[in-house]
Every structure is written in C-alpha cells, then in structure tokens.
Structure 1
C-alpha cells in the first residue's frame, strides 16, 4: 500500500504526542490483550501519520518551482531528522528517493541536527538496486558514502 494523498493539510495531531502516548503505556499493560491491540493500533496510526507528513512534504517539493525547492526539501529533511523517522514502509519509490536525497543534502549543508543523520536513517529509504546511485550522489556532495549509506 502506498499513500498518495494530495491533501495540502498535514495531520493535525503532532507525532510527538502520539509517541509520548505510546511510551506511557507500562510493560504490565502491554501484556493485556486489549491493551496490546490498542498499542498495535496506536503504532499503526503513528506510522500512517508519519507517512502522511512525508507525502505532504514530497507533494510540496513536486509542486514547487525547481529553483525554489531548496526550502521545501530542507523542510522535509528537518522533519525526518528532528523526529528520527525511518522509512515507515508506505511510501512510493519517488517519495523514498526524495527522503534519501534530502537527508544527504541536510548533512552536506550542515543544517541543524545534521550530526543525527546516520546510515540506518538514510539507508531505510534506499532500495538495494539504488544503492550505487545514492553512493555516487553522496560522493558528489563530498560526503563519505560509507558513513551514510549501509
């Protein structure tokens, strides 16, 4: 399943509040069947919200004028880095590629939080068949591909 929502309004509930709600469920409560089901639903909801946010940013990049896309790409990478969001698994190939590219750009520009970008984060968006392409892209940005692409 791929999310292709063209809605220009991202989810209204902040992801941080969903994450906080998940972390507040005690281990004892997680073992109960109804709590377990609720926890699974909450995790799936969080994954869907993250995917919708990423799709929102990717659609904004696609709609932008090519020479002005830097700020929109920066918004996507900042969102991914600040929330440490690995591929939620609901993105199209184009959306995954945009995420990987913007993360590499984020590091190359030295944007705030670029130290948090690691190979697990970037590689989660790269398909094995595209690994060589992104390694070449990292080299063109004067980045060590071994550090950012597993």
Structure 2
C-alpha cells in the first residue's frame, strides 16, 4: 500500500511539473490566415530581407510571391516560419492594385514579429484568396486611349 501511495505521489508531482515546463503555443488565427505564412527568408546586405508568402498546409504549399522588408532581422533558417495573424487593406495609389499590411509572429516562438507590407502581384494573389471580387473579375484590357503604336 505504501508503494502505491509513493507511486501516486510521484506521478502527481511529475504531472504538476510538466505543466510548468511546457511552452504555451499561440492559438492559430482563423481561416484564411491559418494557412498564410512567411518562409524562406534571405538577407541581402545588412538591412534588406526577402521572404516568400505561402498559402497552404504542411502537405501542400503554394508560393504567392516575395515580400521585401527593410530594417528587419528575420532569421534566415529555411525551417523557420512566420505565421500571419491578420491583414488589413491599405489605401491604394493605383486603384487596380491592392496593398495589405499583415501582422506576423514567429511560428515556433509565438513572439510578435511586427508587420509587413504586401504589394504588387503578391497582393493581387492574396486579394483573390480573401475573395476580393474586383481582383477575381479583373481581366487586363489594352488602354484604348494609348498613343503607343501610332
């Protein structure tokens, strides 16, 4: 009986310690942000970082395009990912092209990593994922007022 009590006490003690040592991971954001991440970050010079915006799960990922950021120190390890928490639309200079500011955090550490600006073709592909009807319906048409070729 004493052995049984000792085993119970030891198991209760170790169970209580495992809770102290475990790392609480951040909950995943709602879809479609759950499937958006930054990966394959490369450093150019001392201040420019280029990362790939990816959409998908661990089994199948599609690269939406690259995002360049200045003055950031993202780690360059290939296996390190940044999870996108949310994206907000930014006022556009050219109304045809969307721009987004996306908040990110370290996928492993859960530490806030700031925000990135998504623009150009990468932002157009991201807008289609968000269901932006203007971007889904858009088809390139030559400018009828263009003087090129006259």
TM interval, short-chain normalised: under 0.3
Larger Rg: 2
TM-score, normalization by structure 2: 0.22
Higher strand share: 2
TM-score, normalization by structure 1: 0.22
Which structure ranks higher in relative contact order (CA pairs < 8 Å, sequence separation ≥ 6)?
A: 1
